[in-house]
């Protein structure tokens, strides 16, 4: 178990954001793109300990949580930044149905993540396996201490 599992938020102009959410907003501002939040139909618990337990349970169950909402006109996008926090050395399990539901063939995926010390872990290779017909760039990983 990593000893770096901790609550992680940043406060920007009085608004509390998750680390990865903040990174996503900065990317959105920089490249003026559309943004979609990958969130489960059943919201994640706001209590940190409950979230840690749920994430671990989902991983051992190889869970595929249902995603709330869909991306409109997904086909029209060519370059897609996909961001997530490192959870137990992997992507949150909801990323798996996300990569299943959308066909990234011929598109470029730019992964980004935030973490407590493990960087991307093996997630870039995982994305390449899940999307063999996409170009997956090296992406950008930022420690929550630097966000
Ligand atoms: C359930 C859970 C598991 C985590 N597992 C890891 C881990 O294995 N390695 C790591 O470096 N950080 C781990 N972390 C720390 C997060 O990756 C880090 O705090 C990240 O910035 C959280 O992003 P967020 O604010 O967007 O949720 C974990 C955090 C949580 C909540």
Predicted pLDDT at 42: 94
Which residue puts its alpha carbon closest to atom 22 of ligand 1? 85
Domain limits, the chain: 5-146
- From 1, 3, 4, the mutation candidate for ligand 1 (largest count of ligand atoms within 8 A of CB) is 4
Query: Model-level pTM?
Result: 0.93
| Residues 95-123 pLDDT 10s | 999 999 999 999 999 999 999 999 999 99
Q: Give the distance (Å) from ligand 1 centre to CA of residue 73.
A: 31
Which residue in this structure is represented by tokens 């680390």? 19
Long-range contacts of 59-62 (CB under 8 A, 24+ apart): 59/87, 59/88, 59/90, 59/93, 62/93
Q: What is the pLDDT of residue 8?
A: 64
CATH match of 5-146 with 3.40.190.10: no
Residue ranges in the chain modelled with pLDDT below 50:
1-6
* pLDDT value for 16: 77
């Amino acid at each position: 178990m990593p000893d770096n599992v901790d609550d992680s938020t940043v406060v920007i102009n009085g608004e509390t954001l998750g680390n990865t959410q903040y990174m996503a907003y900065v990317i959105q501002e920089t490249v003026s793109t559309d943004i979609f939040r990958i969130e489960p139909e059943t919201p994640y618990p706001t209590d940190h300990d409950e979230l840690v337990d749920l994430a671990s349970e989902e991983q051992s169950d190889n869970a595929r949580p249902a995603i709330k909402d869909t991306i409109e006109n997904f086909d029209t996008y060519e370059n897609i930044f996909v961001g997530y926090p490192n959870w137990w050395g992997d992507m949150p399990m909801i990323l798996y149905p996300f990569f299943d539901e959308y066909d990234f063939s011929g598109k470029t995926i730019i992964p980004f993540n935030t973490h407590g010390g493990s960087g991307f872990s093996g997630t870039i290779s995982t994305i390449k396996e899940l999307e063999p017909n996409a170009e997956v760039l090296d992406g950008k990983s930022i420690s929550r201490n630097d966000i």
